[in-house]
Amino acid sequence: MRLLVIEDDPDLNRQLATALSDAGYVVDRAFDGEEGHYLGEIEPYDAVILDIGLPKMDGISVLEAWRRAGRAMPVLMLTARDRWSDKVQGFDAGADDYVAKPFHLEEVLARIRALLRRSRGTRRASSIAVPFASIRARGGSVSRAIRSS
């Protein structure tokens, strides 16, 4: 799984990248909107963490440009706690979820896991693997119930 972190605060960028790398993701980092927009346009990321307040190109514009170009990867936006309008604009621009600053890294990790799960589920929707596994699981519990009665 390959992720992109776009955050202009160097400490926050490093903390996010470190936590995500420790969790087993491959992480690229960008520190302004132009650089982040460029990377998201040319590289196949599984998800992006996108700060809204960025130099050179703000996060909303980055997201709008990606979605206009057909880039559909899940995007988790980082917003300032008191800026509710950022959240509305972000969702309208195509964000999938948000975390308000200041946040706990654990929450970011959990939200990224949820986004990746949902996007994998969408891609696999036509597969029979999941129904088959659940039938087998039910069969197993039935046979255990029969043996124990």
Residues near Ca ion (CB under 5 A): 8, 51, 53
**How far is residue 36's CA from residue 57's CA, in Å, rounded to a whole number?**
9
CA 45/CA 68 separation, integer angstroms: 17
From the CB of 105, what's the least distance to Ca ion, in Å? 17
Based on CB atoms, which residue is closest to Ca ion, 6 or 20?
A: 6
CA distances, 142 to each of 21, 134, 146 (Å)? 42, 12, 6
> Which CB, 51 or 86, lies closer to Ca ion?
51
Report in angstroms how near the CB of residue 109 gets to Ca ion at its nearest.
20
**Residue showing the smallest CB distance to Ca ion in the complex:** 53
Smallest gap from residue 53 Cβ to Ca ion (A): 4
Q: In terms of CB distance, is 8 or 35 closer to Ca ion?
A: 8
SS (H, E, C) 83-96: CHHHHHHHHHHCCC
Strand 47-51 and strand 75-80: pairing? Answer: parallel
100 or 114: CB nearest Ca ion = 100
Dihedral-angle region of residue 135 (phi above 0 means left; psi in -120 to 50 means alpha; beta otherwise): alpha
Cβ 69 to Ca ion shortest distance, Å: 23
Q: Beta strand pairing status for 26-30 and 2-6?
A: parallel
Nearer of residues 11 and 106 to Ca ion, judged by Cβ = 11
Closest approach of Ca ion to the CB of residue 78, in Å: 8
